[in-house]
Structure 1
Amino acid sequence: MPVIAVLALDGLPGHHLTTPGLVFGTAAREHPGVAYDVRLCAVGGPGTVRLGPPAPAEAVLPYGLADAAEADVLLLPAHRDDGADPAPALLGTLRAAAARGARIGASGTGVLTLAATGLLDGRRATTAWRHTGELARRHPRVAVDPGGTLVADGPFRTSGGMFGGLDICLGLLAEDHGERITDRTRRELLSPLTVHAERVAETIDRTLADSGGLDATLQWLETSLHLPLTPARIAAHAGVSVSSLNRRFLARTGLSAPRYLLGLRLQRVRDLLERTDDPVEAIAARTGFGSSATLRPHFARLTGTTPRAYRARHRRG
């Protein structure tokens, strides 16, 4: 029976702690032959872990890091991040797991901790939108995907983590037991009423998007690329929720708001490289990337080259 170790640090939201058991437990209950041993492991050793928002509380966990030593899968949920170096024992556990071929998933701020091991260097990874800049700053060798949706690279799975790593868990389930069981498990977990409500909302948002309801916001983005444009800030400008914003962007542009914004920024970078002599560092700041270290991996994925090499080849005049 595969062992899944959930590595719990102080400050993790309660649903991040319970989501893995909910997903794998539901799959095992509904499908004979599916079995998992889910262990909730307090990183500081068996005992109490303090849960964070939205419902601060305490949870007493029966396992510690030692119980993750032979786990087939290690999951590192979001947790409180104060910028301090992760515990050496935790980093050692993650490195040892990777060395023996275990799969490792991290969501939200858990991705920052996983990146501290060096295991994500040279790989693609994502995290919650508000932490992508921090991930790129602290770990410039990680190719940060700003979308926040599930990224799988080798044995590592990372995500934004809004739903407690649900996408990571379902992805692991699909790898182990196929899409049929995973789809049934997903339907079991998601209320039909919620699905119906989402379809109604999508219809409304598509109508509004098609009628020009995003025009003002799209124009504003064009002139505001230097600003720290989070989904929440863009949604506030459009006067909608973040989830509604992304549905409207998908209906209008075929992309989520973060993906659309990234495309705008990269196009502006290319334009500035072609027609100005501005330093790459200045261009990165003007287009919202903050630094050339953050810009480079995105630019390389788009063009297959560096900003300086691109400028040398495409300089106008």
Structure 2
Amino acid sequence: MMRTLSDMRSVALAVHDGITIFEVASVCEVFGVDRGLADPWYDFTVCGAGTVRVGGWFRVEAPSGLDELASAGTVIVPACRDVDEEPPADLVQAVRAAYDRGARVVSICTGAFVLAAAGLLDGRRATTHWMHAGLLAARYPRVRVDPEVLYIDEGQVLTAAGKASGMDLCLHIVRLDHGMAVANDLARRLVVPPHRPGGQAQFIPTPVPNGREHALSDLLPWAIARLDRPLTVEDLARRANMSARNLARHFNAVTGTTPLQWLLTQRIHRAQELLETTGDSVELVAAHTGMGTAATLRRHFSRVIGVPPDTYRRTFRDGS
């Protein structure tokens, strides 16, 4: 049985020899540093088999052994050193034991190979870095590998595609545990995007110049400032001074999704923030987010978030 939310705030990072530094640093920054954003924050520890090499440069002495993974509520497995080798047997066994005791198990990049070796991905959708997705599918045919997405949340088992998407998944977990407002605040502290949906593509078909120099750099903030209005694709195209077809092409290149899906995602995010931080009725939240009616908001919110707006509000307002 999966543990309670309070239990899952006990987070253990499973390290092994030869792991990459980015995934380790990202997890430590999100879960290992208490910035006073929520009380309590996570109880974080690093578990490994003695001294491990990280990033090819550092040697780190893990403060806890792999056997202590079983007592954690959330276990995070970063990328493997070499996907052509079998994952360390002691790590696989420890991750399996943690799962069997109800832990939420998370992989980043090729850490999915560890979860697959432990049998945790059998019959589940999972992702890994697109360069290794074919190998994961061939080696573990019972895994439903999706090489297109940033991350996948299957409840007790979550997988992220690669380095930056590992940060996306960590923020997603914070959002699940502490709510949208806390996750957004943490993202601002880390100077990263507050939310990239897991279904977004791992890479975009057209390179986008750095900074604000892309075709939608003015349009996106303009639309976000007007979410309370019934915006259409035609409205967006007119504002961007381009055809609807050209607008769709640019949206796919910049955001990895369609204009209407992007708008709906922003409206849901705004609704989450209002439900967490205000006492506005669901009817008012629907009006402020351009959903029109409470019924429309409830339908879309329940489909995307998984619970009705009232339940979501009780979860995070009561928790705070």
Q: CA deviation at 1:175?
A: 1.2
Q: Match of 1:40?
A: 46
Q: CA deviation at 1:74?
A: 0.4
Does structure 2 conserve the Cα–Cα contact (< 8 Å) formed by 1:77 and 1:164? Answer: no
> In structure 2, do the counterparts of structure 1 residues 11 and 164 end up closer, same or farther at CA, with 3 Å as the change threshold?
farther
> In structure 2, do the counterparts of structure 1 residues 65 and 31 end up closer, same or farther at CA, with 3 Å as the change threshold?
same
Q: CA deviation at 1:140?
A: 1.0
- My pick for the range that moved more, 126-135 or 94-103, is 94-103
> In structure 2, do the counterparts of structure 1 residues 33 and 91 end up closer, same or farther at CA, with 3 Å as the change threshold?
same
Q: Which whole-Å deviations, capped at 9, do the CAs of 1:41-68 have from their partners, x for residues lacking one?
A: 12xx23x211236xx3322222220221
Q: Match of 1:99?
A: 100
Q: Match of 1:11?
A: 18
Does structure 1 conserve the Cα–Cα contact (< 8 Å) formed by 2:215 and 2:250? Answer: no
The SS at the match of 2:148 is coil
> In structure 2, do the counterparts of structure 1 residues 187 and 65 end up closer, same or farther at CA, with 3 Å as the change threshold?
same
The reply on whether 1:203 has 2:204 as its aligned counterpart is no
Q: Match of 1:178?
A: 179
Instruction: Give the root-mean-square deviation of aligned CA atoms.
Output: 3.2
Q: Match of 2:55?
A: 52
Q: Match of 1:90?
A: 91
Does structure 1 conserve the Cα–Cα contact (< 8 Å) formed by 2:109 and 2:161? Answer: yes
Q: 2:253 aligns with which of 221, 226, 250?
A: 250
For normalisation by structure 1, the TM-score amounts to 0.59
Q: Which whole-Å deviations, capped at 9, do the CAs of 1:186-213 have from their partners, x for residues lacking one?
A: 1110169xxxx85514337999xx99xx
Q: Which whole-Å deviations, capped at 9, do the CAs of 1:257-304 have from their partners, x for residues lacking one?
A: xxxxxxxxxxxxxxxxxxxxxxxxxxxxxxxxxxxxxxxxxxxxxxxx
Structure 1: runs of 5 or more not aligned: 212-245, 256-317
Does structure 2 conserve the Cα–Cα contact (< 8 Å) formed by 1:17 and 1:164? Answer: no
> How many residues are matched?
212
The reply on whether 1:21 has 2:28 as its aligned counterpart is yes
Q: Match of 1:73?
A: 74
- My pick for the range that moved more, 152-161 or 59-68, is 59-68
The SS at the match of 2:163 is coil
Letter paired with 1:38: F
Runs of 4 or more, structure 1, over 6 Å off, are 204-207
> In structure 2, do the counterparts of structure 1 residues 51 and 250 end up closer, same or farther at CA, with 3 Å as the change threshold?
same
The SS at the match of 1:86 is coil
> In structure 2, do the counterparts of structure 1 residues 247 and 4 end up closer, same or farther at CA, with 3 Å as the change threshold?
farther
Does structure 1 conserve the Cα–Cα contact (< 8 Å) formed by 2:104 and 2:156? Answer: yes
Task: Quote the sequence identity (%).
Answer: 34
- The structure in which a higher percent of residues are helix is 1
Q: Which whole-Å deviations, capped at 9, do the CAs of 1:67-87 have from their partners, x for residues lacking one?
A: 212000000001212533333
Does structure 2 conserve the Cα–Cα contact (< 8 Å) formed by 1:50 and 1:59? Answer: yes
> Take 2:218 and 2:38, find their aligned partners in 1: how far apart are those partners?
41
Does structure 1 conserve the Cα–Cα contact (< 8 Å) formed by 2:175 and 2:183? Answer: yes
Q: Which whole-Å deviations, capped at 9, do the CAs of 1:81-132 have from their partners, x for residues lacking one?
A: 2533333322222222222221010011111111111110110000011011
Letter paired with 2:214: E
Q: CA deviation at 1:25?
A: 4.0
Q: Which whole-Å deviations, capped at 9, do the CAs of 1:212-256 have from their partners, x for residues lacking one?
A: xxxxxxxxxxxxxxxxxxxxxxxxxxxxxxxxxx9785359847x
> In structure 2, do the counterparts of structure 1 residues 198 and 156 end up closer, same or farther at CA, with 3 Å as the change threshold?
farther
> In structure 2, do the counterparts of structure 1 residues 171 and 32 end up closer, same or farther at CA, with 3 Å as the change threshold?
closer
- My pick for the range that moved more, 181-190 or 16-25, is 16-25
> Take 1:23 and 1:69, find their aligned partners in 2: how far apart are those partners?
21
> Take 1:135 and 1:191, find their aligned partners in 2: how far apart are those partners?
29
Q: Match of 2:142?
A: 141
For normalisation by structure 2, the TM-score amounts to 0.58
